Every structure is written in C-alpha cells, then in structure tokens.
Amino acid sequence: ALSLSCLLGTPFRIVNIRKKRALPRGRAGLMPQHLTAVRALKEMCEARVAGDNDGSMDLTFEPGRVRAGEYRFNVGTAGSTSLLLQAILPALLMENSPSSITLMGGTHVIYSPTFHYISEVFLPALSALGLHARASIERYGFYPRGGGKVILEVTPSSVVRPLNSYSCNISNIRGISGVGNLPLTIAERQKDAARHILREEGYAAEIDSVSVPAFGPGTFIFLAAQTDLLRAGFSALGERGKRAEIVGAEAARALIGHLKTGACLDEHLADQIVIYLAMAQGESSFTTSCISLHLLTNLWVIKRFLDIRYRIDGTPGSPGAVTISSRARVL
C-alpha cells in the first residue's frame, strides 16, 4: 500500500494493523521495521502521515511528489533491510533520475528475504521486466545485532514488460554458504549437508563457502536454481543450538520441494513480483509452486489502487497459475 500510494499519488488509510499479532506473546501494530518504511517513504515523497508511531494500529498516508536522489535509512538492530528495499523501490524505478539508497540493519534475518534472495532472484526478475536496480552488500547483519549495510542503485525505467513464464528447464543450481565471525568449518558443513541431499534427489550443485564481514556472529546458506528466464531461491539461517547440517538441509529440501512442482516462480517471488506486473502493458501469466496468502493479499491490495484483472488457477497452499493484466497506465 505504501509503495502504490507513493507511485500513484493516492492517499490511503489502514486500520487494525497486525491486529492478530496481539495474541499470546505477540504485539499488534507497527513494529520498528514497519515504521522505518513509513518514515522512509514519508521523506521520499514529502507525505503527510498520521499514526506513524510504535505500536500504532491505524495509519493514514497522504503522499506528495516522489523525489529521486541519495538517501540513507537505518532500520535499527536486525530489522530487515530487504523489506524496506522492497517498499521504496517501485516509486523510485518510475522516476526520471537515478537514486542511491544506503540501508542499515538486518540482511539475513528470519521472516524476510535475505540479501542474496534480493540480489540473485528478485532484482534479476525485475530486469527481465525491463526494470533495473542493483544491490551490493558491504557488511552483513544477523539477528540480534544487525548492523548490516546494503547499497541500492536504482535506474529509471520507461516501460514494464509483461511476464509469461509457464515452462521451466533447470540449467544449473548454485549457492553460497557463509559465516560471519564464526569458523569457516560451519559454512563447509552447511554446504556439505545441502549438496548431499540435492545429490540424493539427482541434482548437482556448485556451492561456495565464504567468511563474510559482519557486526555480529551468524550463518546462512542460499541456493538458487537457474531456469529458462528466472531463478528460484531458498535460504536457511543458523542460530544458537541449531546444527550446521540442519541449516544446509533446510535450504536444500525447500529448493527440492519447489523443483518437484515443475512451477517457474517460487512462492516468494510470486507475491513480490505482482505489483510490477500490475504496471506492465499487456497480460502476464506464470506458474508458482505455492498460491500463498501473501500472494492473494497483495493482489487484493493492488486492486484497491489499480484497475487490474487477475485470475488464480489453484487453491491456497498448493501449486497454481496466475494471470494478471492492467487496464490503467502507470508510467
């Protein structure tokens, strides 16, 4: 909603934010990482905002004109830089001038795309649509200390191409297993576990083991399958008491589960790309390994801002296909 509001100059109000998160041991309303997104977009488009405070369950956002340029935003601790990146990117892609954004916070944290998913899956998918941005990482940020640093370079775009992706042939599987401020042997164990499970299913993979600069300790593994047009990617993160072999196995099994469906888009790319397909000139269609609630919710929200048609073939939680077309010109 924030992205579309800035992109289209359309105000909105949202209520009961994260209401059900107030259930046992949860907390409803806006969390710090959500507030950073609100305030970042407020700064970028000189918006008038009410309700941008910690724990707020009611937000009103009235955007002004988006300004491209250089920005620096700190999510704080291990709040996700990837979620912030995805919130600010749509409007900047449609500006007339390039932008450079420095993002500080978590780069490899739970419940959000890792930096590698953004750089190796999400941004290449946008490139296939004619939208160009590049992300680089200077420092990694793991839970709970965060402190990561990502640079996003955005190039203005003049057209969004539709996507038609139904059949996918796998050309290779590559990955990276990394540690920050921990022995490299942990990354090696993650890699070996992932390769073993992939090999048992008939998949060969090239996985690099690396030691990365980080503010605090942490581990991760990321695997990506290259297909005809796009990539599918899956990550797993280490944590205290979690064996490296479990981390490697998690990512491998998630990738295998996706590949066995024969679908082109992994479930996360499916929900992340529909906002851009809603701006494309022409009809887009794709298969995905899972019709997720995120995907259905995003389409519902987009339709409140744009005159789109969409069709879902499949049931929530199962593989399926999506067709989407827009009757409103955005660019």
Active-site residue set: 294
Q: Helix (H, G, I), strand (E, B), or coil: what is residue 269?
A: helix
Give, for 249, the enclosing helix (H) or strand (E). helix 244-261
**Euclidean distance between CA atoms 241 and 246, whole angstroms:** 10
**Closest residue by Cα to residue 326 from 302, 308, 305:** 308
Residue type, 29: G
Residue type, 303: K
**Closest residue by Cα to residue 35 from 62, 17, 23:** 17
**Euclidean distance between CA atoms 148 and 112, whole angstroms:** 14
Alpha helices, H only, 146-243: 184-200
Q: Helix (H, G, I), strand (E, B), or coil: what is residue 308?
A: strand
**Closest residue by Cα to residue 70 from 131, 152, 146, 168:** 152
Q: Helix (H, G, I), strand (E, B), or coil: what is residue 2?
A: helix
Cis? peptide before 144, omega within 30° of 0: yes
**Euclidean distance between CA atoms 16 and 87, whole angstroms:** 20
What's the count of helices (H) and strands (E) in the chain, helices before strands? 9, 15
**Closest residue by Cα to residue 95 from 132, 126, 127:** 132
**Closest residue by Cα to residue 116 from 231, 248, 259:** 231
